[in-house]
Amino acid sequence: MKLLLVLPILLPLVTALVMLPFREHPGVQRGLALGASLAQAAVAVALLARVYAGGILTLQAGGWAAPFGITLVADLLSAVMVAATALIGLTTSIYSLGSIDRERERFFFHPLMQLLLVGINGAFLTGDLFNLYVWFEVMLISSFVLLALGGTPRQLEGSVKYVTINLLSSAIFLSAVGILYGVAGTLNMADLSARLPMIEQRNLLSVVAVLLLVTFGVKAAIFPLFFWLPASYHTPPVAVSAIFAGLLTKVGVYAIMRVFTTVFTGAESEAIFRILLWVAPLTMIVGVLGAAAQYDLRKLLSFHIVSQIGYMLFAIAIQSPLAIAGGLFYIVHNIVAKTSLFYISGIIREKSGAFQLKKIGGLYSTEPLLAALFLVSALALAGIPPLSGFWAKLMVIRAGLESGHYFVTAAALTVSLLTLFSMIKIWNEAFWKDDPGVVSATEEVHGNGRTALLYLPVVMLCGVILFFGLSFEPVYELSARAAAQLLDVGSYRNAVLRGGGL
């Protein structure tokens, strides 16, 4: 049973290694990528079912007892995130079959994608702060190469910005980990949460808390640390943009959630939540206003990533069980809706020849299915019932009102409206107005099979959005249990420190 905990990391890692010799055989690589993603999805579902039924699952690698060995932990929060990662990994591997060119495949696109998943799953499953750093680096180095792969001038320029800011944030993370070890003598999250209340050097702990907030804040693209995101996410191929947009920032949000509820429990995390209550509305507002000015489809969507992060931060900052449940569901909903919108941007580019909204139009008459799928994803993002975003926003806003944060709640509602405005702008420009005829569609060299590969992932994700929206009861149940488990730090501590070895 414990194997389930390692498989989300091991499976993509082994797949990536097996792929390496098949550089000149893209067919083999594609088959392996698809097979591995399917297996990954099965593993993630099994893990989620196991954790839901049997409680927190832990593994001490090598049999060393908890604070000394390498700890892997799956509570419901981690398991849900791994499941979301598996879903996006699967849809992206299908999407990339239809969209990634031969040259990128020759330069190890598929293995890199698998290694990216290794890093993301590792970050979700680790129970140790230093290992979190290591998994972040695994994720980063794969994302660096995926972003730069192809080497067009725009990609390189975006990569320079992305790489520099992320290396800076890694150095900050490492410094924070160093100081924390100096103060506490351990980096195991469960052990830290038990020891930190007894430590006398509170000011050093505050320094560590703020350094960690900055590190994770850079990854999560919170205000004012988000400028790298809209400067780089629109440069690589759509499949890469989409998986970055869906997953990478959410790893940062997950880390904030985990560290400031599980590891830091006292005055330090309360101070961080007070900061977040200011940062959250600013992130929402600046992101959505940035999006309003954009006419490049993917840049517009990139600014919306930033804006949506604000809602998750707000949920984390409130800290009531309803807010955490809402925040968790918001993360999952946003992963699905945002990735779907990025996939759609790729299909729009394929069908009309440009990402620039001013140059395209008339897709409603030529691609009615695409228009319907866009509406589902876009209205979910804006929070229109009965789609997933409505429930996510309802939970967060209700929690905000119950805890008396009226100003931030008002900001959240206003930003919702502005999000709807942005989505309508895309609808009007790309679908509704007549095609201005400036650019011609890219030649369909690959025929209809290729288009189907682009549509299939979007249909899958829209199905998930509709499922979340229409049968919300079980999803709510799951989020509420995950939140209760996350807030019950004692059970996490017990599971890790008293759990058996392999």
Partner 1 sequence: MTLLLALITGLFYAAGIYLILRRSLVKVIFGIMFLGHAANMLIFSTGRLTKGAPAFVPAGAQALVEPFADPLPQALILTAIVIGFGLQAFAIVLFRRSFEELGTDDVDAMRTTDCIEGGDA
Concatenate the DSSP letters of all residues of 421-478 into one string.
HHHHHHIIIIIISPP--SSPPPP--S-HHHHHHHHHHHHHHHHHHHHHHHSHHHHHHH
175/179 Cα distance (integer angstroms): 6
User: In 368-439, where does DSSP find H-type helix?
Assistant: 368-382, 388-402, 406-426
Piece of the chain touching partner 1 by CB under 8 A; list 34-42, 97-105, 136-144, 399-407: 136-144
Helix (H, G, I), strand (E, B) or coil at 57: strand
Piece of the chain touching partner 1 by CB under 8 A; list 118-126, 142-150, 419-427, 465-473: 142-150
Is 75 or 429 the residue whose CB approaches partner 1 more closely? 429
Nearest Cα neighbor of 127 from 453, 492, 454 is 492
Report which secondary-structure segment, H or E, holds 61: strand 57-61
* Residue 177 engages partner 1 in binding (rule: CB under 8 A): yes
Among positions 281-300, residues that touch partner 1 (CB under 8 A) are 293-296, 299
The HSE-up count of residue 417 (CA atoms within 13 Å, CB side) is 5
| Residues 221/215, Cβ–Cβ less than 8 Å | no
Query: What is the C-alpha radius of gyration for the chain, rounded to an integer number of angstroms?
Result: 22
* Residue 99 engages partner 1 in binding (rule: CB under 8 A): no
Where do we find the tokens 């409680």?
55
Is 27 or 153 the residue whose CB approaches partner 1 more closely? 153
Is 175 or 414 the residue whose CB approaches partner 1 more closely? 175
Tokens standing for 390?
Answer: 């409505």
* Residue 305 engages partner 1 in binding (rule: CB under 8 A): no
User: In 20-108, where does DSSP find H-type helix?
Assistant: 26-54, 76-99, 102-106
Tell the smallest beta-carbon distance from residue 7 to partner 1 (Å).
Answer: 24
The 10 Å Cβ neighbour count of residue 137 is 17
Tell the smallest beta-carbon distance from residue 328 to partner 1 (Å).
Answer: 30
| Residues 287/308, Cβ–Cβ less than 8 Å | yes
Piece of the chain touching partner 1 by CB under 8 A; list 15-23, 132-140, 269-277, 369-377: 132-140
Tell the smallest beta-carbon distance from residue 66 to partner 1 (Å).
Answer: 15
Among positions 341-360, residues that touch partner 1 (CB under 8 A) are 354-356, 359
Inter-CA distances, 7 with 17, 55, 221, 476, Å: 15, 18, 29, 27
* Residue 134 engages partner 1 in binding (rule: CB under 8 A): yes
The HSE-up count of residue 404 (CA atoms within 13 Å, CB side) is 0
Is 126 or 485 the residue whose CB approaches partner 1 more closely? 126
Piece of the chain touching partner 1 by CB under 8 A; list 30-38, 193-201, 232-240, 374-382: 232-240
| Residues 356/436, Cβ–Cβ less than 8 Å | no
Tell the smallest beta-carbon distance from residue 67 to partner 1 (Å).
Answer: 11
Among 59, 79, 140, 316, interactor with partner 1 by CB under 8 A: 140
201/209 Cα distance (integer angstroms): 13
Is 287 or 469 the residue whose CB approaches partner 1 more closely? 287
Among 25, 170, 292, 433, interactor with partner 1 by CB under 8 A: 170
Is 295 or 467 the residue whose CB approaches partner 1 more closely? 295
463/36 Cα distance (integer angstroms): 22
Tell the smallest beta-carbon distance from residue 1 to partner 1 (Å).
Answer: 29
Is 176 or 332 the residue whose CB approaches partner 1 more closely? 176
Among 152, 201, 442, 471, interactor with partner 1 by CB under 8 A: 152
Among 10, 23, 46, 130, interactor with partner 1 by CB under 8 A: 130
Is 296 or 488 the residue whose CB approaches partner 1 more closely? 296
Is 161 or 450 the residue whose CB approaches partner 1 more closely? 161
The 10 Å Cβ neighbour count of residue 185 is 12
Among 2, 25, 161, 450, interactor with partner 1 by CB under 8 A: 161
* Residue 215 engages partner 1 in binding (rule: CB under 8 A): no
Binding residues with partner 1: total (CB under 8 A)? 47
Piece of the chain touching partner 1 by CB under 8 A; list 9-17, 44-52, 224-232, 322-330: 224-232
The 10 Å Cβ neighbour count of residue 133 is 18
355/348 Cα distance (integer angstroms): 7
| Residues 430/422, Cβ–Cβ less than 8 Å | no
Where do we find the tokens 């069908």?
351
* Residue 144 engages partner 1 in binding (rule: CB under 8 A): yes
356 to 395: interface string for partner 1, x by CB under 8 A:
x--x------------------------------------
96/117 Cα distance (integer angstroms): 15
Is 163 or 384 the residue whose CB approaches partner 1 more closely? 163
* Residue 167 engages partner 1 in binding (rule: CB under 8 A): yes
* Residue 443 engages partner 1 in binding (rule: CB under 8 A): no
* Residue 137 engages partner 1 in binding (rule: CB under 8 A): yes
The HSE-up count of residue 383 (CA atoms within 13 Å, CB side) is 21
* Residue 151 engages partner 1 in binding (rule: CB under 8 A): yes
The residues binding partner 1 (CB under 8 A) are 130, 133-134, 137, 140-141, 144-145, 148, 151-154, 156-161, 163-164, 167-168, 170-171, 174-175, 177-179, 181-182, 185, 230-232, 234-235, 293-296, 299, 354-356, 359
